Amino acid sequence: MNFFEHQDRARSSTRTLVFLFIAAIVTLILITTFLVVTVLGLAEAQNSQSAIDFNIITSDIFLLVSAGVISVVVLGTVFRFAQLSGGGRSVAQGLGGRLLNVQTKDADERKILNVVEEIAIAAGTPVPEVYLLEDPAINAFAAGFKPQDAVIGVTRGCIQQLNRDELQGVIAHEFSHIFNGDMRLNIRLIGWLYGITVIGLIGYYLMRGSSYSSRSRNDKKGGIIMLGLGLLVVGYGGTFFGNLIKAAVSRQREFLADASAVQFTRNPEGISGALKKIGGYAGGTRLAAANTSEISHMLFGQGMRAGFFGLLATHPPLDERIQRLDPSWKGGKHAASPVSSKAQAETASGFAPVYAAEEVFANIGEITSANLIVARQQLQNIPSVIREEAHTTLGSCLLMYSLVVTCSEQVVAAKQIRYLQVSLGAQSYSNFASLYDRVGALPRELYLTLVDVALPSLKQLSPDQYGIFIGHLQQLMLADEQISMFEWCLFKILSYNLDRRAARDEPLVDLKACASECQVLLSALAQTGHSTLAEASSAFAASARELSIDIALELEWNKSPDIAVLEQVLGKLKNLRPLQKPRLLKAMVLCIQHDGKVSSEEGELLRAVAVVLDCPVPPLSNSQ
């Protein structure tokens, strides 16, 4: 199953869970109606009629109870989702996590930041923020609604107890959850379960209020206590069945993430070694945070004691996970295995990655050892001074300005520099001038890598600072009253990753219904990478055939693509059905590689489209 099938299955799982929770709410309505009727019967004990009227389902009481239960669940769910609107940050902060400063000098913190940065760049996905939980347990999680707001959380025990290969296996496991669409599903589970729990909380406060009340008549007081007890049982009963669903879904996805981690790193000893080390570690994986139960399904390992003889365990047994990764393991004493000589040799060999269209498509949502080597090389080729500046909020902003100015023609660049000289303070402009000279010496293929490195720092901008940053960026882009392809690609990548406004869920569209949009996009790509009409036409025809939409597409040959039209096109294509996205991306890769060369401009356009489609695409290279 590939990245797109995982995404589609995640959507299907969401629909199934919605159905199950609706069924749970209906059950709650029926049980609560029964409780209310029973309480009314107790309150009217002097009446000889039965306390329970089985025709009640047609009465006003049923309608009132239904409205009440639905209102409580919906309001509780909406309230919790509002608290989680910050995405992964909200989850990490709720657990007491501390955002790691990318400039940290702490060796352990530096180690985890380097691993996360390396894996993200190898996968072609935004570098997520990293939160540290000061807990001795070995555990980790990925949280967020989409890759752009994802965070990685790790415990102090995780980065102290695991070596780099084991840590890389754990982080690759968490990236699998990002790629497979698990994060969004996991956050929805938090909101839905909280909505059901609110009913139990109401019951608890009814019981508590009645027990402290001395004015109520005993029979009335007893009825309220009984209603409160019933609601408490109903609420937590609903949570119990919700947790059963959560546990079942989580266990299967943990197996998938373990297997994906091995696929990513080509080093099964990494993640299996981490699991073995957990088994022999006194601190285990249980977290001390008060709300661990709410996010237990997000964790790398079992975060709390599993009740009902393991029935509610959110993770498979540790031995079973190890056995699947290391069939030769016979159980018994847990001890981490050394890194295999094969894995060491493969990592050290530095073999050249293969980037044919089929390979690029197969690697979407995956991380190969070849990609990891490329990522390390790219990071090493960025001077340490630039990387250090990319790890500060001001430095990262100045670097983005430098990229725009560097890619501009000389006359336009002079105008842009004058704008910055007036708009920035004296010290900031001096820093910019120094960085601008250094960025100008970088090869073009490192520009997007530099953007990836800077993203975690840029995410720390306050709303006001972000507005100023984007404002300056737009002024630089409009200095010549037109937007270049690079400027548009950079702006799309930055705004899509940094804009904190909640994205609206829009209806999915079919690839065939986007034929005209595909024609515009592929035409822009064909003329970006090919200098003659004949070459562009040939590349366009090959990519159009790959779409297989049974609609004739024609190359739109212009001297320069219309950026405004491209903006509208991408606004529609971002809603493609998950299983149809690969056809578009593969068509783009075929178009790019038709002449055996990959220009920086082509790679940048592919990356911008992939970011908006929420598809991690590894970097392309020229044919060998």
Residue 387, number of CB atoms within 10 A of its CB: 18
Percent of all residues in the chain with a pLDDT value above 90, rounded to a whole number = 29
DSSP labels, 349-371: H-PPPP--HHHHHHHTT---HHH
Banded model confidence at residue 414, pLDDT cuts 50, 70, 90: very high
pLDDT band, very low/low/confident/very high, at 87 (cuts 50, 70, 90): confident
- What is the mean pLDDT of the segment spanning 6-25? 61
- Show the DSSP H helices in 213-291 as ranges: 218-265, 268-279
Residue linked to tokens 């009727």: 37
Phi-psi sector, 21: left (phi>0), alpha (psi -120 to 50), beta? alpha
C-alpha distances in Å from residue 607, one per residue of 413, 589, 604: 25, 11, 5
Decide if pLDDT at 302 tops 90.
Answer: no
Per the model's pLDDT, the better-predicted residue between 311 and 271 turns out to be 271
The chain-wide mean pLDDT, for the chain, equals 79
Where does 95-223 show beta strands of DSSP type E? 98-99, 129-133, 140-143, 151-155
Q: What is the pLDDT of residues 63-75, one digit of tens each?
A: 777 787 788 888 8
DSSP helix/strand/coil, 151: strand
The whole-number average pLDDT for the span 551-571 is 85
Question: 3-state SS of the chain: helix, strand, coil percent to 5?
Answer: 65, 5, 30
Angle (CA) 429-433-437 rounded to 5° is 165
Angstrom distance (rounded) from CA 543 to CA 591: 5
Q: Which of 167-171, 186-190, 359-363 has the lowest mean pLDDT?
A: 359-363
Find the helix or strand (DSSP H, E) in which 17 lies: helix 3-43
Tens of pLDDT, residues 579-593: 788 889 888 988 988
pLDDT of residue 580: 84
Cβ atoms within 10 Å of 309's Cβ, excluding its own: 7
487 belongs to the catalytic site: no
Does 495 have pLDDT greater than 80? yes
Given this model, what pLDDT does residue 615 score? 79
Cβ–Cβ < 8 Å for 285, 300: yes
Q: Cα(220)–Cα(222) distance, rounded to whole angstroms?
A: 5
Using alpha carbons, select from 170, 334, 150 the residue that is nearest to residue 257. 170
Q: Measured between alpha carbons, how far is residue 452 from residues 123, 392, 519 in Å?
A: 11, 13, 29
Phi and psi, residue 55, nearest 5°: -90, 10
Contact 2, 365 (CB under 8 A): yes
Assigned token pair, 166: 């084991």
Binned at pLDDT 50, 70 and 90, residue 408 comes out as: very high
What is the reported pLDDT for 429? 94
Task: Provide the pLDDT for residue 416.
Answer: 95
Higher pLDDT, 624 or 560: 560
Could you tell me whether strands 140-143 and 151-155 are parallel, antiparallel, or unpaired per DSSP bridges?
antiparallel
Positive or negative CA dihedral for 253, 171, 142, 499?
negative
Question: Helices 218-265 and 3-43 sit at what angle, rounded to 10 degrees?
Answer: 170
Show the tokens assigned to 303. Answer: 């975060």
pLDDT tens, residue by residue, 243-291: 766 676 677 778 778 877 777 777 778 888 899 898 888 888 888 887 7
Task: Give the tens place of pLDDT for each residue, 508-517.
Answer: 899 989 999 9
Q: Is the dihedral of CA 43, 44, 50, 53 positive or negative?
A: negative
pLDDT tier, 621 (very low <50, low <70, confident <90, very high otherwise): low
* pLDDT value at 3 more than 50: no
**Model pLDDT for residues 128-137, shown as the tens digit of each residue:** 999 999 999 9
Supply the pLDDT for residue 51.
45
Amino acid at 504: R
121 near 449, Cβ under 8 Å? yes
pLDDT per position as a tens digit, 497-509: 898 765 666 788 9
Interatomic CA distance for residues 511 and 527, integer angstroms: 22
User: Both tokens of residue 478?
Assistant: 């409009």
SS (H, E, C) 493-509: HHHHHHCCCCCCCCCCE
CB neighbour class for 129 (10 Å; exposed up to 12, middle 13-18, buried from 19): buried
Question: How many angstroms separate the Cα of 281 from the Cα of each of 32, 248, 322, 327?
Answer: 46, 26, 15, 22
The answer to whether the CB of 620 falls within 8 A of the CB of 593 is yes
User: Count of CB atoms within 10 A of residue 155's CB?
Assistant: 27
Q: Return the domain boundaries, the chain.
A: 382-498, 512-612
Distance CA 229, CA 223 (A): 10
Residue among 117, 174, 601, 602 flagged as catalytic: 174
pLDDT of residue 171: 92
Q: Looking at residue 343, what is its pLDDT?
A: 38
Q: What pLDDT band is residue 357 in, cutting at 50, 70 and 90? A: very low
Give the per-residue pLDDT at 464: 92
